[in-house]
Chain A
Amino acid sequence: MLTSEDSAIIAIHEAEASGADTSELNMRFNNAVNLVEQAEASHFYSCNSTNDCMNEANEIFKSITNEANILKDQADMNSHTKMITSVTVVVLSSLIVSFVAVYSYKRYKSFALRRFLNMEIQAER
């Protein structure tokens, strides 16, 4: 069964893989781990009892999971938007470059044709 700690770490990894900044979540995760360690060692300095430590840690893990999922969705959305923007820019740039290339080619051809038609034949003595 997936514990709240497992869910939190998996959610953080997924958010990070999507490109989200998880540094604040990492810090809170470590605070929760510290509470779990206090509970495991029965050595309390920031919570009062095993139950108190575990409950507080579980609450933190759950909120981390929720926030990491939100961050992942946002990062996925940003990544998607960024991809669409990049592709659009490339397509528009390609249109402009292609147009300029064909236009320049046509101008050159018409210039070359005009020059040819304006040529005069001179007899060599």
Chain B
Amino acid sequence: MVVGFFKGILLSRKFFLIFALIAGIFAPLAAMSSQTSNSGTEGFLTLSVLNNEMKVGQYFASNATVASGDNMNWYIKVHNGMSKAEYIAIKIKLLNSTQQAPDDASNSPSPEREIISLRQLVAANSTWLVPVNWTIAGTDIQDSYTSIKKVAVNNRTIDDLDIRSSDGRSFRVVIELWKYDSDTRNFTFAWSTSSHEQRSVWNQIWFKVKS
């Protein structure tokens, strides 16, 4: 009799309807929640340049003027706010005032070659701090122009430079952030966000060379 009672419940239409309703709602939710998903928030990458005291600004000992042989101890700080690890390249370029800098409107990098490139796989939500110690190791100062011939960055000497400036000896260090694209298998300066906007990140610091 007890078995018949239970059997009656299990075979009833009410039991089947309630079971189908609950399982139909919660089983797909359980299946979805067990899958790995990202947070759905907009990812970002940031780049900042810090001085030897890990602060923004006062990058040079003497009012943005550098003499050959002066040591600049900077830090480049990259934060990966994306939902996955990103393979990042920092490209440091040395330009005069007329050479083309990166363009925010078209998200294109400076066409000039980098003096050094540093790469690192940066985990999601973590920060990569890169020490950059650089020196102008050789200049050619004439009446009409100043040319940087040689720089040393992180103990590497780059001596095939000829970056000339005639207008007040103005130069700039351009720091570009490039991100590895798994589809093109290359580093790319600009990337698309989830809302299909193009983004790029770069920074520049101006200085003059002491004659």
Q: Which residues of A contact B35 (CB under 8 A)?
A: 79, 83
Q: Which residue of A lies closest to B10 (CB)?
A: A99
Residues of A contacting B36 in the complex (Cβ-Cβ under 8 angstroms):
17-19, 75, 79
Q: Give chain B interface residues in 172-188, CB to chain A under 8 Å.
A: 180, 182, 185
Interface string of A76-96 (1 = CB under 8 A from B): 000100110111011101110
- Is the beta-carbon distance between B34 and A86 smaller than 8 angstroms? yes
Residues of chain B lying within 8 A (CB to CB) of residue A53: none
**Residues of A within 8 Å of B, CB-based: how many?**
41
- With A19-B36, A98-B22, A102-B18 known as contacts, the answer to whether A9 contacts B31 (CB < 8 A) is no
A70 within 8 A of B: no
Contact (Cβ within 8 A) A102 B9: yes
Query: Across the interface, which residues of B come within 8 angstroms of A9, CB to CB?
Result: 87, 121, 180, 182
User: Residues of A contacting B196 with CB < 8 Å?
Assistant: none
A26-B123, A99-B10 given; A94·B26 CB < 8 A = yes
What A residues does B124 contact at CB under 8 A? 16
Contacts of A82 in B (CB 8 A): 34
CA distance A17 to B85 in the complex (A): 10
Q: Produce 1/0 per residue, B19-40, CB < 8 A to A.
A: 1001100110111011110000
Give every chain A residue within 8 A of B119 (Cβ-Cβ).
33, 36-37
Number of A-B contacts (CB under 8 A): 89
Complex contacts, A16 vs chain B, CB 8 Å: 84-85, 124
Do residues A33 and B31 form an inter-chain contact, with CB atoms below 8 A? no
> Within residues 46 to 102 of chain A, which ones have a CB less than 8 A from any CB in chain B?
75, 79, 82-83, 85-87, 89-91, 93-95, 97-99, 101-102
Q: Does A105 contact B (CB under 8 A)?
A: yes
Residue of A nearest to B15 (CB): A102
Determine whether B113 belongs to the interface, using a CB cutoff of 8 Å to chain A.
no
Q: Which of B117-141 contact A (CB under 8 A)?
A: 118-121, 123-124
Report the minimum CB–CB distance from B188 to chain A (whole Å).
13
Q: Answer whether residue B195 sits at the interface, using C-beta atoms and an 8 A cutoff.
A: no
Which listed residue, A22, A83, A97, touches B34 by the CB 8 Å rule? A83
Q: How far is the CB of B130 from chain A (nearest CB, A)?
A: 12
- In the bound complex, CA of A94 to CA of B25 (Å): 10
B192 within 8 A of A: no
A residues near B9, Cβ cutoff 8 Å? 99, 102-103, 106
Is B155 positioned at the interface, with any CB of A under 8 Å from its CB?
yes
Give the residues in chain A near B123, CB-CB below 8 Å: 22-23, 26
A12 touching B10 by the CB < 8 A rule?
A: no
A-side residues, CB < 8 A to B, are: 2, 6, 9-10, 12-13, 16-19, 22-23, 26, 29-30, 33, 36-37, 41, 43, 75, 79, 82-83, 85-87, 89-91, 93-95, 97-99, 101-103, 105-106
The 5 closest A-B pairs by CB, nearest first: A86-B30, A19-B36, A98-B19, A94-B23, A94-B22
